[in-house]
Structure 1
């Protein structure tokens, strides 16, 4: 039911969890190169093959899978809030990974043009 969601709180919680996953992966969100590497890996995902590591017991693989899921969840939260005329923001870690995703997406679009 629309109108009852607290998008700001939800976005803050997701952003904090993204920050935790980056820490678990040993990634400093100020390291643009490493974030872009993660972004490239996320864009390389092929749904028909499944996500490598999704069922893995390796904590690093699982953390990546969870990170990518959180990124999608954050994007959905931001989109839904915008559809309700609200603007939500994440923390520095979210902004950094969002920028890396955007940069990689633009770069791959230019290569394909």
Structure 2
């Protein structure tokens, strides 16, 4: 009876040894790119770029304080941008009335 030895990528981190970021990204996410016909270097670059974008959003989320302005001398703040992007109430004029959905326009 042969004993099964798990591959190093399936061992707990303490036993497998550290992997660099590119290796971890490739191991965990490269299979999602298989339909894109990219070289391994292109896959690494794409995954690394996406990772940096996600990290930037996390950093931004933890560093922005309520009332912070976009820059020196700006009167527009991050709150203004979020209020513009995250609409709580939809304006009534943007909704189609159930009475007019199937009606044709009159000339």
Write 1 or 2 for the structure with the bigger share of helix: 1
When the two structures are superposed, what TM-score results if normalisation uses the length of structure 2? 0.26
Q: Which has the larger radius of gyration?
A: 2
When the two structures are superposed, what TM-score results if normalisation uses the length of structure 1? 0.25
